[in-house]
Structure 1
Amino acid sequence: MSKRLQMLISAVDKDSKSLLEQMNIESDAVLVNQFIKTDGDNYEEEFQQNGHTVKVIGRREKGVGLSRNTALENADHEIIQFADDDIVYDQGYAEKILKEFDDHPEADVIMFNVKAQEGRETYWNEDFAKVTWKNYGRYPAYAICARRDKLVSSGVKYSLLFGGGAPYMNGEDSLFLHDCLKSGLSLYRTTVALGHEVSGESTWFNGYTDKFFYDRGVLYHFLYGSFASILGFRYLFNNRKTMCVKKGLFKSYHLLNQGIKHAKTLKKV
């Protein structure tokens, strides 16, 4: 398995070695640990844990997109696996990932099953199939594995505008996969399961606030361009009984359109 699989972990204020034990890591890894609430200076270290090489990059900064890009820039293995610090992996996950890529040379990126905590499920793959423009938006980063050389040569990186620690709420994973498709990478989904999410509070969701709808508009501009307003209305209408109960459909839509308008002034980073 040497130099084949490398996990890219984004963490915040964690003790590196205890986190790796908790996650049940059985592959090489790059761990980017951002200091937000704790003290510490920037540092880099490399050590062996359970026979695997781990590079830890400690940074006094915030932003999940920045964290994932830093990890990718420091990766040097054939297959990379994005991960969060609240995932526990099943025994044998590494071999499962490598087998899927070996069995499917046509795949540049594969989305694996990882069981989310109850109430936060966005997907569960029930077949092996190509991921297209119709269904790419459901996958979190911890589902994504890729051939590193294909990903690097495509130039696709995580946006610094969206996600935890960024100016706007979640959506960075959808935008990342959007850019993968746009660059011509071949994306697939698989029924192979790798682990589960540990229960905890969301790092970004604070209810259906003004910011929620505004930020959704910013995201939709980058995802859908001139169709952002139309698809934004469809999104709100389909979810009006949950999302728009307090503000109403048209107030929510107004906020979303304000976000779309603002996004046109932004440069994508």
Structure 2
Amino acid sequence: MYKVKVEILCAAMHQKDLSKYKEMNIQTDMVLANQDNRYEYVEEKINNNMVKMITTPYRGVGKNRNTALLHSSGDILMFSDDDIVYVDGYAEGVVKAFEELPDADMIVFNCIKHSNNSRGRIGKVSRVRLWNFMRYGTVSFVIKKEAVLKYNLNFSQLFGGGSRYCSGEDNLFLREALKKNLKVYSHPFTIAHINQGPSTWFEGFNKKYFYDNGAWLQAAFPILRHLLVWYFVLKFAKKTNLSRMDTLRLQYSGMKAFKKGLSYDEWHLEKIPQSIM
């Protein structure tokens, strides 16, 4: 009987060896896409599982995840970061979930940040739709390799840590999957815990954050952006020192600059016309 092969696709930086395999409690095959100042390919059998590390000097989490995708060989692919610790038996739990949901192309699972905090956890099996997809992060994504190939899915190289705009590659990937009519479910099985350290990109709800969020709105919601921009103005009103009008103008600046392919550093806010619409 054919055994379904589960494979971890981990985005990492500055790794010198394969020690992450043990640290992350990996129990399956693994592709470690590693960004450092060199080119290198390492392949090794650990506990009868194939572990590959592809090191490149490029930057950007989207590029890194795409590198992992290109070198993947599993039937079921689990996206990961190097601050994840997987639970024992995660592969069996994932395979069982796909057996329970035979029409699923992709399943979003629980990844717990704080063991005593139930906020945001998935409580039951349900469909993920275009109106509720933004609550999930990449490390919870598990997808069939066939769906990646059939629908030509990949990660944006413009969004995410190390890219032109600081975040949003995870939402764009999931949105693209839904737009291409993949059947996506959420499932209460917990696959891992997150030992989250300091963010490599988040510097607070500052001008760049709102500017980049505007660029993301333009890319993700070109029709609804004028409505959603106000959602973010109100959502972060008490979390930033900027005025509501400043956060609004910054987001519209990001929308306009995204069309021209300009980063925050390249766009001069003082040149923006008073009319932001």
Is the TM-score greater than 0.5? Answer: yes
Q: Larger deviation: 126-135 or 45-54?
A: 45-54
The aligned counterpart of 1:264 is 259
Q: CA deviation at 1:44?
A: 1.2
Q: CA deviation at 1:174?
A: 0.4
Kindly report the root-mean-square deviation, in angstroms, between the aligned alpha carbons of the 2 structures: 1.9
Q: Larger deviation: 109-118 or 205-214?
A: 109-118
User: 1:3, 1:76 within 8 Å by CA — same for their partners in 2?
Assistant: no
Q: CA deviation at 1:76?
A: 1.6
The aligned counterpart of 1:210 is 207
Q: CA deviation at 1:226?
A: 2.6
Which among 148, 172, 186 is matched to residue 145 of structure 2? Answer: 148
Which among 243, 247, 252 is matched to residue 252 of structure 1? Answer: 247
Q: Does 1:29 align with 2:30?
A: yes
Q: Does 1:123 align with 2:120?
A: yes
Which among 42, 46, 55 is matched to residue 43 of structure 2? Answer: 46
The aligned counterpart of 1:86 is 83
The aligned counterpart of 2:6 is 5
Which among 110, 115, 138 is matched to residue 113 of structure 1? Answer: 110
**Structure 2: segments with no counterpart, 5+ residues:** 263-277
Q: CA deviation at 1:220?
A: 0.4
User: 1:9, 1:68 within 8 Å by CA — same for their partners in 2?
Assistant: yes
Distance in 1, Cα, partners of 2:167 & 2:195? 19
Q: CA deviation at 1:31?
A: 0.9
User: Paired residues, what number?
Assistant: 260
**Partner amino acid for 1:255?**
L
User: 1:156, 1:183 within 8 Å by CA — same for their partners in 2?
Assistant: no
**Partner amino acid for 1:128?**
V
Show CA shifts across 1:59-78 (max 9, x none): 11111100111111111221
Identity of paired residues, percent?
A: 32
Distance in 2, Cα, partners of 1:89 & 1:164? 23
Show CA shifts across 1:94-144 (max 9, x none): 1111111111111101000001259x9983111100000111011111100
**Partner amino acid for 2:217?**
Y
The aligned counterpart of 2:272 is none
**TM-score scaled by length of structure 1:** 0.92
User: 1:44, 1:56 within 8 Å by CA — same for their partners in 2?
Assistant: yes
**Partner amino acid for 2:242?**
K
User: 1:32, 1:56 within 8 Å by CA — same for their partners in 2?
Assistant: yes
Secondary structure at the counterpart of residue 88 of structure 1: strand
Distance in 2, Cα, partners of 1:73 & 1:223? 24
Displaced runs of 4+ in structure 1, greater than 6 A? none
User: 1:123, 1:139 within 8 Å by CA — same for their partners in 2?
Assistant: no
**TM-score scaled by length of structure 2:** 0.89
Show CA shifts across 1:33-68 (max 9, x none): 110xxx5x3111211112211111111111110011
Secondary structure at the counterpart of residue 194 of structure 1: strand
Distance in 1, Cα, partners of 2:33 & 2:59? 11
Q: Does 1:18 align with 2:13?
A: no
**Partner amino acid for 1:9?**
C
